[in-house]
Structure 1
Amino acid sequence: MKIIFVTNSSANGGASKMITFLYNEVKKILPESKIVFIRKEDSQYSNIENAYYLTTSLKSPIAYFKVSKKLYHLIKLEKPDAIISFLPLANILSAYIGKKLGVKYRIASQRNPPQIYGKVVRFFDKFIGSRGFYTSNVCNSQAGLEAFSKYPESYKKNLSVINNCVEPADLSISQEEAREKLGIATDKVVLTCVGRLHDQKNHELLVKTMKHVDNAILYLAGDGPLRHKITNQINLLGVENKIVLLGDLEREQVRLLLRASDIFVIPSKYEGLSNSLIEAMSYGLPIVFSNIPSFTNFLQIDAEDKYAGILANNDEIEWAKAINHLMSENTAMEKYRNLSLLKVADLTPEKMTSRFLKLTNDTKA
């Protein structure tokens, strides 16, 4: 059996990370499988051996037509038994082309709530998904699935949830050794946030928050279109001695950073099931998180709105209060460390891979 994996781009981000990870796991079982990135962007995913990269630019209708044609010929050439796609453009093109070419299983994966996308993308996704082009339509969180509640029944009948997986944490070195390797020479509390410098990730709230937090340094791992704006904000607010912009990090550097950290902060405005969140939890980091459905749904531990982390609304004072509480209370730090580890214990690579493969029916995993 052969599976082709397709995603929008090779940019650093959760979708690229998770589809590449899934591809590598499946390839161990089904070695003829291939991965396709519609648009190539320089990143840790832009030079994968035997991967297909269809274009470097998608800035016109003609470019979309050309890339669709390339994908059509590629799928026709490879003759896969199944296509697994991540993100709307890849989902729409892969399902349409796959059905036309007789690909039996066309599995779409929705990584974010549909409301964040433009009307044109939502229209085509709803059209394709309501007319049998997706044989399965996978959300990466229960909150993500619930975001489709107003869609037609013909769309919703193929929806299911497969949570992202998390690799086992690398605890082979101590926190002190990890800090030494990264050049973090501090006796202060290390706060970490991992994500693109994009409006979605809400880093500006963290910059404001650091005005009210002492004895801590915030490390921001990631790059993106807001880097210049965030740098200016840091200087304007006078918190340049409290915040370090690390830029994009290689995979192993991110894991070192998590090992070196004390608290993980994630103030996103919207997410599916965040890869950076669950990876931080696998390192036993206490979490301070924003009040969005995907986080509250995943992190809830009982019916009384108790969470495996501290929820903070979109207010710098509330965020500072949550961080300062953790920093000053060792019992709270230990409590949330343990809750983090317990919450992600079941998110294994084997389970995620098995659940995707079961959607093809023919593969026993």
Structure 2
Amino acid sequence: MRVLQILHTDELGGVKTLADMIAEDLGRRGVTVDTVLLFDRPDFGRAEKIKAAVAMARRLAQDDHDAIFAYQATACILTGLFGRKLRIVHQTCTPGETQALVRLADRLVGTAGRYSVNVANTMFTLNEFRGYPEGYRTDMRLIEHGLDAPRAASGREETRRRFGLPEGAPLILNVGRMAAQKNQSVLIEALPAVPDATLAIAGHGGDGDMLTALAQRHGVADRLRLLGGVAAADVADLYAAADLFAFPSVWETFGLAGVEAAMSGAPIVASDIAVLREVLASEEPDAPVAFAPPHDVDAWRRALAQALATPASAERRAAFADEVSRRYARERMSAQYMELLEGRDLPAPPW
């Protein structure tokens, strides 16, 4: 069996992490997975994007793979319109955060039944499509992300030295693209209320200069470290080296970095948004996770300060890490994709 995966670009992030895991896991099950990019560069202009989309449409019309996996909006729409066999698409953005014309095209293609399987990765994401036509919702299925728990390969002190981070000061870590969605600015605005703490941001993106300027205005530039894009192995080390993981996104469909941090045993302060309440839920009332409204700087000041002043015990952190790791086991996710490839359906959502 052969599968074609289509990504918009090869930028590091949750989508690429998911696609890489699926390719690896299906490969172990005897499936050949070929991954291609819709856009060779993330900075394509409008004309270049149209040209690339036309080229992909032509390719799909002639493609002989047994299945196509598409992960982002334009790739999904092209797969639905021109793919010839099993077409599995993923909703990696909520409708409200999708550009209007793209949102309309996705709605029309899905309602026409051109998606064989339309995957949402959380109940929150699934419910975002509750108001869509029945023809669209008929093909939607829930496949929650599965992940490997990050395993640090180096000690706390060694990791901090490697990244030029203070060895003795409290370390707040954020992992994510430097972009408006990830809302790192609220952390910088809250940092003056957390004396001596250093904020490290691991991720690429175009907001680096803005975040640096904001840190200068708030007098905390010496306590901000922009680490740039970081390999997965290094991110695992950073989780273990941090005193606190901060995740202030204004929206997510899953929140991969937050779940990874939980699996690593890091205490967390996360945005008080529905999807993060879902994926970071715990059966225990004293789980090492707190929530603050995304844009409430005072709430972030209090939450960060309290989390650092009263750190959770190693036992509480380990119990939460185990709970989240079991809930989002990678093997469960891979088995569900294999079921689809073998022609078996997954349970319909409880609309």
Q: Give the TM-score, by structure 2 length.
A: 0.90
Secondary structure at the aligned position of 2:46 is classed as coil
Cα distance per residue 1:33-58 (max 9 Å; x no partner): 2111101237xxxxxxxxxxxxx734
Partners of 1:177 and 1:230 in 2: CA distance: 27
Secondary structure at the aligned position of 2:38 is classed as strand
Cα distance per residue 1:85-119 (max 9 Å; x no partner): 10111100012111xxx31x111111121110111
Q: Which residue of 2 aligns with 1:89?
A: 74
- The answer to whether the 8 A contact 1:171-1:259 is kept is yes
Q: Which residue of 1 aligns with 2:348?
A: none
Q: How far does residue 153 in structure 1 lie from its aligned partner after superposition?
A: 1.2
**Does the C-alpha gap of structure 1 residues 305 and 252 become closer, same or farther in structure 2, counting only changes over 3 Å?**
closer
Secondary structure at the aligned position of 2:90 is classed as strand
Cα distance per residue 1:62-104 (max 9 Å; x no partner): x445323422443355401111110111100012111xxx31x
**Does the C-alpha gap of structure 1 residues 324 and 208 become closer, same or farther in structure 2, counting only changes over 3 Å?**
same
Q: How far does residue 191 in structure 1 lie from its aligned partner after superposition?
A: 0.8
Q: How far does residue 355 in structure 1 lie from its aligned partner after superposition?
A: 1.0
Q: How far does residue 336 in structure 1 lie from its aligned partner after superposition?
A: 4.6
Q: In percent, how many aligned pairs have the same letter? A: 24
Partners of 1:239 and 1:65 in 2: CA distance: 43
- The answer to whether the 8 A contact 2:77-2:105 is kept is yes
Q: Which residue of 2 aligns with 1:59?
A: 46
Q: How far does residue 306 in structure 1 lie from its aligned partner after superposition?
A: 8.1
Partners of 2:279 and 2:218 in 1: CA distance: 34
Q: Which residue of 1 aligns with 2:328?
A: 347
Secondary structure at the aligned position of 2:221 is classed as coil
Q: How far does residue 17 in structure 1 lie from its aligned partner after superposition?
A: 2.1
Is residue 311 from structure 1 mapped to residue 291 from structure 2 by the alignment? Answer: yes
Q: Which residue of 1 aligns with 2:99?
A: 118
Secondary structure at the aligned position of 1:241 is classed as helix
**Does the C-alpha gap of structure 1 residues 257 and 194 become closer, same or farther in structure 2, counting only changes over 3 Å?**
same
Cα distance per residue 1:279-314 (max 9 Å; x no partner): 111210111001112111222335x99876101113
**Does the C-alpha gap of structure 1 residues 282 and 192 become closer, same or farther in structure 2, counting only changes over 3 Å?**
same
Amino acid at match of 1:163: E
Q: Which residue of 2 aligns with 1:233?
A: 214
Is residue 22 from structure 1 mapped to residue 2 from structure 2 by the alignment? Answer: no
Cα distance per residue 1:218-270 (max 9 Å; x no partner): 10111212111111110111011222111222232222211211210000000
Amino acid at match of 1:89: T
Partners of 1:156 and 1:96 in 2: CA distance: 17
Q: Give the TM-score, by structure 1 length.
A: 0.87
**Does the C-alpha gap of structure 1 residues 306 and 93 become closer, same or farther in structure 2, counting only changes over 3 Å?**
farther
Unaligned stretches of 5+ in structure 1? 43-55
Is residue 264 from structure 1 mapped to residue 220 from structure 2 by the alignment? Answer: no
- The answer to whether the 8 A contact 1:296-1:307 is kept is no
Partners of 1:316 and 1:335 in 2: CA distance: 27
**Does the C-alpha gap of structure 1 residues 64 and 186 become closer, same or farther in structure 2, counting only changes over 3 Å?**
closer
Match of 1:196 among 156, 159, 177: 177
Q: How does 1:202-213 map to 2 (within 5 A)?
A: 202-213=183-194
Amino acid at match of 1:40: D
Partners of 1:92 and 1:311 in 2: CA distance: 35
Partners of 2:41 and 2:319 in 1: CA distance: 38
Segments of 4+ in structure 1 off by > 4 A?
304-308, 331-334
Amino acid at match of 2:238: L
Cα distance per residue 1:130-183 (max 9 Å; x no partner): 111111111111111111111111111211221222223224433233323334
Q: Which residue of 1 aligns with 2:308?
A: 327
**Does the C-alpha gap of structure 1 residues 306 and 331 become closer, same or farther in structure 2, counting only changes over 3 Å?**
closer
Secondary structure at the aligned position of 2:96 is classed as helix
- The answer to whether the 8 A contact 1:3-1:84 is kept is yes
- The answer to whether the 8 A contact 2:89-2:119 is kept is yes
Q: How does 1:38-49 map to 2 (within 5 A)?
A: 38-41=38-41
Q: How far does residue 320 in structure 1 lie from its aligned partner after superposition?
A: 1.7
The count of residues paired between Structure 1 and Structure 2 equals 344
Secondary structure at the aligned position of 1:244 is classed as strand
**Does the C-alpha gap of structure 1 residues 161 and 87 become closer, same or farther in structure 2, counting only changes over 3 Å?**
same
Secondary structure at the aligned position of 1:35 is classed as strand
Secondary structure at the aligned position of 2:250 is classed as coil
Secondary structure at the aligned position of 1:265 is classed as strand
Partners of 2:96 and 2:286 in 1: CA distance: 27
Partners of 2:127 and 2:285 in 1: CA distance: 18
Partners of 1:109 and 1:306 in 2: CA distance: 34
Q: How far does residue 343 in structure 1 lie from its aligned partner after superposition?
A: 1.8
Partners of 2:344 and 2:120 in 1: CA distance: 21
- The answer to whether the 8 A contact 1:283-1:341 is kept is no
Q: Which residue of 1 aligns with 2:32?
A: 32
Secondary structure at the aligned position of 1:144 is classed as helix
- The answer to whether the 8 A contact 1:176-1:260 is kept is yes
